[in-house]
Amino acid sequence: MEKLNPYEFLEFIVTDEKIKSRKFLEKMDISSRHIRRACRENSIYVNGKRTFENVEVKKGDSVAIRFPDESLNALCQYKDIDICYEDYDLLIVNKEYNCVTHTAKDDSKDTLLNYLAGYFEKNNIKRKVRFVNRLDRDTSGLIIVAKNSYAHAKIMDEFSNNQVDKIYLAICRGDFKEKQGEIVKKISLCQDGIRREVDDDNGKYAKTKYQVLKDNKKLALVKLKLFTGRTHQIRVHLKSIGHPIIGDKLYNDSNEEQNLMNRQALHSYSLSFKLPRTGELKTFTAKLSDDMDMLNHEIS
């Protein structure tokens, strides 16, 4: 049997005694949309050979879908990227602060999308850049990039079903009375169309768990776990309990604390999820950026 390149093919080995190839792909949790497209493009392979029909397969056979080459969806720019993990399906990046993930314009420049397009082009990855999650411009940390539509859909489903553990680190106003707890407060959009606020009547459910790691009364390093993914959720929730994030110009009105950092001291530290192809549960972490690390060392 011809060995298939896992970058080009999504391959499964049949365990049923007898089954139709398309039915088998459904059993492997391939979406009907993906199967229909593979049928249209004649990109289904059995035992390494392209098949144009819904054939019967048996135990031990290989059934695979070939991923088509794609054109890049952004202008290529070249810059060193902090890559935490890479395989045939995924690229996980530690995004630096003061970097936009992407904009709505295809001709934008100096975004993470542009730098990833450059990385894809340089490494002959002939696919679109597909972001699974996003971060604010001034939030550093982990971003997941899918190299194919299958991986993108699988991990997006995990996010939608709250199956991804999302851990952040923040440096905020110190002197916590409770060293750990849960913040369950609804969040809605402010009238200015930019900021968010706690709104128990009209807001959407949001839940954040926090644990104080260090606290010198002035500053505190806090670990936060998100159970929902509302815009600005951590920033709004921490402000609501009297501990806004240092450097946060939207939600911290203390000039002194704003001047300690030239951006909000928030970092996406850890993501835990199942790899799309194998189902293996993996945890990925990203080191603090230099500016947050320096401020962190000031907390005794």
- What does the pLDDT read at residue 106? 60
- The reply to whether 106 belongs to the active site is no
Q: How confident is the model at residue 137 (pLDDT cuts 50, 70, 90)?
A: very high
Q: How many CB atoms lie within 10 A of CB 132?
A: 21
Burial 201-213 (b: 16+ CB within 10 A, else e): eebeebbbebebe
pLDDT at 104: 72
Domain borders along the chain are 9-66, 166-268
Determine which one of 16, 29, 61, 136 is catalytic. Answer: 136
How many whole angstroms separate alpha carbon 25 and alpha carbon 10? Answer: 10
pTM (2 decimals)? Answer: 0.93
> Could you report the per-residue pLDDT of 238-281, keeping only the tens digit for each?
999 999 999 999 999 999 998 999 999 999 999 999 999 999 99
Statement: 166-268 belongs to CATH 3.30.2350.10: yes
Amino acid found at 292: M
Q: How many helices (H) and strands (E) does the chain have?
A: 7, 18
Q: What is the mean pLDDT of the chain?
A: 94
Confidence of residue 186 (pLDDT cuts 50, 70, 90): very high
In this predicted structure, the answer to whether residue 211 has a pLDDT above a threshold of 70 is yes
Residue 15 scores a pLDDT above 90: yes
Beta strands in 147-218 (DSSP E): 165-173, 180-184, 187-189, 196-198, 207-215
Nearest to 115 by CA among 82, 78, 156, 74: 78
Nearest to 78 by CA among 139, 123, 134: 123
CATH number of 9-66: 3.10.290.10
Assigned token pair, 235: 């920033």
| Per-residue pLDDT at 33 | 86
Q: How confident is the model at residue 300 (pLDDT cuts 50, 70, 90)?
A: confident
